[in-house]
Amino acid sequence: MKQSCKARAWFLATVICTILLSPIASFGKASIANYHAYKALHSNESVIFFEQNEGYSTSKSSANIEHSQESLSAHEKKPNDSLDESDDTKKTKSPSAKPQQKKDAVKEYTIMVYIAADNDLHYFAWNNIKQLAQGANKNISIVVQLNEPGRHRKTQCYLIEKGKATLLNKDQNLKLDSGDHQTLIDFCTNTIKTFPAKEYVLILWNHGTGVIDPIKGKTISPADLFVLNPSNMMLEIDRSISFLDLIAPLDTETRGICFDDTFQTYLTNQKLEIALKEVTEKALHGNKFAILGLDACLMAMLEVGNIVKNYAHILVASQELELGAGWRYDKMLQFFNQQSLAPRDFARQMVTAYQEAYAPITPDYTLSAMNLDTIGILEKAIDSLALLLLKSVQQQRGNQIKSIIKKCKSGISFDEPSYIDFAAFCTKLMQQVDNFEFADDQYNYLKKDIKTAATNCLANIRTTVFANTHGSNLAYASGISVYFPERGIHTSYRKTEFARSNNWYTFIGAYISL
């Protein structure tokens, strides 16, 4: 019975998201879109046209075919190959093509969208591609790499222009592994070389699990965790189910984003960092991405920011689960028709577009934009607070302080209970710290110091998070989460650079052991 209810919830979520979030007017036309895309891929057609009211159409006209005639080499992996540490040295060439472009045609932005849809999210991929085509204009270049389910379904690379998607790798028939960091490296490198711009944006489209990684290649659809509230016909998250409890045991050693069901792999956070490091050092010549967007669940975390801060100026991500329809790409691009946007303004528009899309259908949504150039200061602030909290629990009377801290972190989590809103925690801590009882009164000075440290953390959160939106069920969401489990520390968390360098890890370890 429980499984059938979940199936109905997933179906309702899919239908509602497709109808309300799609530029297409109906669910049926979204299905037509997928059919035409498949037809184009398995024929001689190279351009997919997106029509406002008629779904998708395709053309073989030579006047409209703009794919590259240049052959690209690629390395094909066999499906179900595991992605272990030895794979770090393997090279996988992306199917990105190299079409001719005028040398002086340097646009404002090149936007790269890495759609890892070889999983249960593939239903939504083409709808997002159509949204990109609706928002495309002459001021920006948009390139999409798409992986879909099927052992023999080739990886596709498209140049997205106004109303159409042009297949760039028509002469290639390779199925690439979205979970291989080299695939991401090659996609970014070829795109940056082919489509020069003043600024570069990378968006990773897939499942996400925050700083904690599940069993290799295993995840669930976030729609399984949404239920329809019949009283208001809104989709709400079932918080009796822990996201990580469903997908991973406590002692797993892997974590990541961009899951690939064919190869049973995904990008661990470690491999994501390897890819970003190589792309920024070599393709961007030491410069950073203007924006790194994570169109995935649970990724707006301090610890995730720590991983990517050296490779991007801005991070746009969600603290909470995302419904399968993901971001509203047409709305986030709409102002490029009228003006050029600075990266911070572009990131703000991403957040605004998300709010406009989801506020009418669910009270359980979040999206925020973080300034990664200042996140290091926030890391120092949480380190100072953690040292004071560590000393407090070591000198407490009984377990009295631990009990207060537990209250402070309750009611401010997301679908994964160990991910809490950091600003909300600091606010509640400041309200409760005067109730701390120490075994010796000489430690009472810690109360004032903790208030000062928590205030400093809040100030730095406001500096770091410059755009934030949330639904009414998540009024406490400030835009940045932190890991604070109650029972045990995930093995993968211990291996993060944040855990190795920040006393927050030491504090939560001491808290759990009491």
Q: How many CB atoms lie within 10 A of CB 439?
A: 12
pLDDT number for residue 224: 58
Which pair of structure tokens corresponds to residue 44?
Answer: 């001689």
Please name the residue that has the structure tokens 């199925």: 175
pLDDT number for residue 197: 97
* Separation between Cα atoms, residue 301 and residue 364, nearest integer Å: 17
Picking from 320, 342, 372, the residue at the C-terminal end of a domain is 372
Co-location of 314 and 388 in the same domain: no
Q: Are 396 and 402 in contact (CB under 8 A)?
A: yes
Co-location of 333 and 387 in the same domain: no
Confidence of residue 270 (pLDDT cuts 50, 70, 90): confident
Co-location of 281 and 383 in the same domain: no
Co-location of 368 and 422 in the same domain: no
pLDDT number for residue 51: 59
* Separation between Cα atoms, residue 16 and residue 13, nearest integer Å: 5
Asked if the model's pLDDT at residue 42 lies above 50, the reply is no
Q: What's the burial of 459, exposed, middle or buried (CB within 10 Å: 0-12/13-18/19+)?
A: middle
* Separation between Cα atoms, residue 385 and residue 447, nearest integer Å: 11
pLDDT number for residue 119: 84
Please tell me which residue, 35 or 66, carries the higher pLDDT value: 35
Least confident of 3-7, 12-16, 279-283: 3-7
Asked if the model's pLDDT at residue 174 lies above 80, the reply is yes
Co-location of 257 and 366 in the same domain: yes
Confidence of residue 377 (pLDDT cuts 50, 70, 90): very high
* Separation between Cα atoms, residue 309 and residue 75, nearest integer Å: 30
Co-location of 60 and 162 in the same domain: yes
Q: Once rounded to an integer, what is the mean pLDDT over residues 472-476?
A: 97
Please name the residue that has the structure tokens 């699990």: 209
Share of the chain above pLDDT 90, in %: 60
Strands 289-295 and 197-205: parallel
Please name the residue that has the structure tokens 């290639």: 172
Confidence of residue 35 (pLDDT cuts 50, 70, 90): very low
Least confident of 95-99, 181-185, 282-286: 95-99
Q: Note the pLDDT tens digit of each residue in 212-262.
A: 765 544 455 555 555 656 666 566 665 555 555 555 543 343 445 566 678
Number of domains composing the chain: 2
* Separation between Cα atoms, residue 105 and residue 168, nearest integer Å: 18
Co-location of 316 and 330 in the same domain: yes
* Separation between Cα atoms, residue 320 and residue 367, nearest integer Å: 8
Q: Note the pLDDT tens digit of each residue in 392-425.
A: 999 999 999 999 999 999 999 999 999 999 999 9
* Separation between Cα atoms, residue 107 and residue 373, nearest integer Å: 24
Domain of residue 481 covers 376-513
pLDDT number for residue 2: 33
**H-run or E-run covering 243:** helix 243-247
Mean pLDDT, the chain, rounded, equals: 80
pLDDT number for residue 88: 37
Q: Once rounded to an integer, what is the mean pLDDT over residues 299-319?
A: 97
Co-location of 360 and 392 in the same domain: no
Q: Note the pLDDT tens digit of each residue in 333-360.
A: 999 888 889 999 999 999 999 999 999 9
* Separation between Cα atoms, residue 79 and residue 74, nearest integer Å: 15
Taking the CA atoms of residue 310, residue 312, residue 313 and residue 315 in that order, the dihedral angle to the nearest 10 degrees is -110
CA 356 to chain centre: 19
pTM of the model as a whole: 0.81
| Integer CA distances (angstroms), 140 to 162, 164, 337, 339, in order | 10, 14, 10, 11
Q: Note the pLDDT tens digit of each residue in 423-461.
A: 999 999 999 999 999 999 999 999 999 999 999 999 999
Least confident of 28-37, 80-89, 500-509: 80-89
pLDDT number for residue 230: 60
Residue 36: which of 130, 118, 121, 112 has the closest Cα? Answer: 130
Least confident of 132-136, 157-161, 227-231, 428-432: 227-231
Picking from 322, 341, 372, the residue at the C-terminal end of a domain is 372
Q: Are 238 and 226 in contact (CB under 8 A)?
A: yes
Co-location of 348 and 394 in the same domain: no
Picking from 312, 338, 372, the residue at the C-terminal end of a domain is 372
Range from 11-25, 52-66, 235-249, 358-372 that averages highest in pLDDT:
358-372
* Separation between Cα atoms, residue 14 and residue 168, nearest integer Å: 30
Q: Are 498 and 302 in contact (CB under 8 A)?
A: yes
Please tell me which residue, 440 or 91, carries the higher pLDDT value: 440
Co-location of 361 and 394 in the same domain: no
Residue type, 214: P
Co-location of 265 and 118 in the same domain: yes
pLDDT number for residue 213: 61
- 3-class SS of residue 323: coil
pLDDT number for residue 291: 98
Co-location of 110 and 159 in the same domain: yes
pLDDT number for residue 25: 34
